[in-house]
Amino acid sequence: MRPPRLVPGARVAVVAPSGPVPEDRLEAGLDLLRGWDLDPVVAPHVLDRHGEFGYLAGADADRARDLERAWCDPSVSAVFCARGGYGAARMVELLDWDAMRAAGPKVFLGFSDITTLHEAFARRLGLVTLHGPMVAGADFLKNARAQEQLRLTLFEPEAVQVIASPGRALVGGRAHGVTLGGCLSLLSADLGVPEARVSARGGLLFLEDTGEETYRIDRFLTQLLRAGWLEGVAGVALGSWEECDPYDAVRAVLRDRLGGLGVPIVEEFGFGHCDGALTVPFGISGELDADAGTLRLDAPALAAARG
């Protein structure tokens, strides 16, 4: 299902499913959203800190409650994540997915650790979600290109139905399929989890990560290959590898592990942990052109606004 696009005055809830959120960056992000004529509301526990584990934005139950209540609030048109980090996997099973399904589709936005939730929304709600910049993300706050592409996706998705990147072909060709993916390490961590996606068959797989040594990238990809998760994938788009080893080393392992799939692969597509990161809709069909570095969606990412 494609959620309705946003309109001026729409209320959007900001939640923190993962790591702690810097208050100054949150306030800057809220100001940016208000400048788009949105009405952002901050969930009660967004600025919490876990008493024992400082890498979590509060208790698991509180983070889950914030997301669930925001989603089920009929006045809220979208739920935006404040940041990633780590923690979504600890609270995803605490959500009342039946209640969230009954609440109907709305826009969900985030990336990095939020990959776990993109997969959950796809499997449990059958919903198109947006892999893109987060409200308190430093790169988002300082990059006008990332801001504008996200704004168009939210309000005028026809204007970005063709997503053009600076990418180039690692393996040339075109492929058609349904978009999915996110952070490589999180996709690997989801293997074997109940209700997780059993394979990427028929998909256009978007992969990126940050802060990983090359041997760990090799391990994540090898695990996906050994599990059969990559069998039948239609095409692959590779994003940023910020704070990883030099890209030549990363590129070599990406080619080694993925080149044998025999499908089009585009590298440096410009999404993920990088300046000016593109917003990529997940759960929608389209054509990936590795040679041109483009993704052409079969339909706008978001449906017409509710009347």
Catalytic positions, written as ranges: 112, 208, 273
Q: Sheet holding 168-171: strands in order across?
A: 162-164, 294-297, 285-289, 174-183, 203-210, 235-242, 265-267, 168-171
CA distances from 81 to 10, 61, 107, 230 (A): 16, 16, 11, 28
Please say whether the beta carbons of 99 and 65 come within 8 A: no
Q: Could you give the angle at the alpha carbon of 182 between the alpha carbons of 216 and 222, nearest 5°?
A: 35
